[in-house]
A = this chain, B = another copy of it.
């Protein structure tokens, strides 16, 4: 038996799940802070209220986009953690790096919403999604390599999880590349892709992308 600290660290998947749920909760609700109630003394009548609320629409949309992205990656991480038998210290740190990238989503989404026709904003947003994907991929391939995956999950299932990350990231990268045409085309592609992941439509090839 190896009596050192590292061999004891990071084994509790329950604690990792608990911390992840906490960090996701905070990240998911961060952009709702931007939805501020209009100041009563600046609003004289119903029309002004309607205008003030309509002005909040872009913030609401960027909040929805951020929530959607986080929901997809929360599901992605959950699938992984559910199918492991135990953790270890390296897995914990890969997941901590993943959680760090998670907390940047509200920022990168807000940046994209504010500078919707700047390629730099789009590339930062995409880099954030890429980072999330790479870290989940790293986490899963590390778990497969070191035998942390539940033996009930056979090879085809392991590959199905792996394949999902790779295909999704290729489609996101394609979306980002579309910015050479126009940033709106890029954003449109990415949002449709994410809605597809959320809704999982009854069309088989779409659902299994």
Q: Which residues of A contact B (CB under 8 A)?
A: 1, 3-6, 8-12, 14-15, 17-19, 21-30, 32-33, 35, 37-40, 43, 46, 49-50, 53, 64, 67, 71, 74-75, 78-79, 81-83, 89-90, 92-93, 96, 99-100, 103-104, 106-107, 110-111, 114-115, 118-121, 124, 154, 156-157, 159-161, 163-164, 198-200, 207-208
Contact = CB atoms under 8 A, between A and B. Distances in A.
Name, among A8, A14, A74, A120, the residue most crowded by chain B CB atoms within 10 Å (CB to CB). Answer: A8
Question: In the assembly, how many copies of this chain are there?
Answer: 4
Given A32-B30, A160-B4, A78 B9 contact: yes
Nearest to A12: B82
A115 to B, nearest CB: 6
Nearest to A117: B46
